[in-house]
Amino acid sequence: MKELVIVLTTILLSTSMFIFWVAKGGFNKKYLYTDNIILGIVSSLITLGIYFLIDIPFWMIVPFVSGTVVLILFILLFLYRFFRNPTRIIPGGANDIVSPADGRIIYIKELEANQIPVTVKKKRIANIKEITKTDILEQPCYLIGIAMTLFDVHYNRAPIDGEVVLVKHTEGTSIGLNTPESTLTNERNTTVFKRADGVMAGVVQIAARGVNRCIVMSKEGEKMERGQIFGKIRWGSQADLIIPRNCEILVREGEQVHAGSTVIGKLLVD
């Protein structure tokens, strides 16, 4: 009977932790049925092993020992998921724009070149220059925001083939990304890619609270292939993708995307 209590309590602790991060941290719900199940089973086996091998009072096993085991394994799982760099198969053709980051689509906006910033229900609608801190992308565009959680791969990939024509770092605040003004005031890197036919796409790495820094490893003048790694962000953050309006958008808000392997849109060019 005690063994069953240990197993059920351990699985409950693991599930509670994942539900919290799904609700508050934006984690994908699939982790409740994948990582959570694995973590719960492994934690239960380790806790049972400690119970049988070490003379510890039952009241300390549940919930203190099982809780400590779940927390340690969760941290190790997070470190594995965060720092991994899986091989990605780049789909589609030259006119397909791939996601620059792993994460969840939080907005898809249409911005005009000279749009005046306004506030709608505490959510700012800004112009392109205000977001990118450069005027190189002053054209009608789509702005697609991708929220990166602690479980997402944090390497960023080029959305199109082309030359890196701009790498710009902008100092700023480090307020939480759930604050509307964070997408305009937080520290960021803007990287712009330009194809041989003149088509440009930009990626804005936006730092979140507690982020060490946004890193761009590519240099201006470097040739990049679609899906090639150009940078990374440490800890949870956001990546905004700026692409031309002459594009068919193939994703929607709330969808989980993966850097280099999810096609965000298709350029409508000859």
- Please report, in tens digits, the pLDDT of each residue of the chain (270 residues total): 888 999 999 999 999 988 988 887 777 788 888 889 999 999 999 999 999 898 888 888 888 999 999 999 999 988 888 778 889 999 999 999 999 999 999 999 888 776 655 444 345 556 666 667 677 777 888 999 998 887 888 899 999 999 999 998 888 666 555 655 655 667 888 999 999 999 999 999 987 765 557 889 999 999 999 999 999 887 668 899 999 999 999 999 999 999 999 999 999 876
Report helix, strand or coil for 221. coil
Buried b (16+ CB within 10 A) or exposed e, 84-117: eeeebeeeeeebbbbbbbbbbbbebeebeeebee
pTM across the whole model: 0.81
Q: How far is CA 43 from the centre of its chain?
A: 27
Look up tokens 């054209």; give the residue.
139
Is 96-267 CATH 2.70.70.10?
yes
Annotated catalytic, 237?
yes
Cβ atoms of 88 and 260 closer than 8 Å:
yes
**CATH 2.70.70.10 segments of the chain:** 96-267
Residue 190 burial (C-beta neighbours within 10 Å; 0-12, 13-18, 19+): buried
Token pair recorded at residue 131: 């977001």
Three-point CA angle 168, 81, 242, nearest 5°? 30
- Whole-number pLDDT of residue 217: 92
Say which of 14, 44, 218, 237 is annotated catalytic: 237
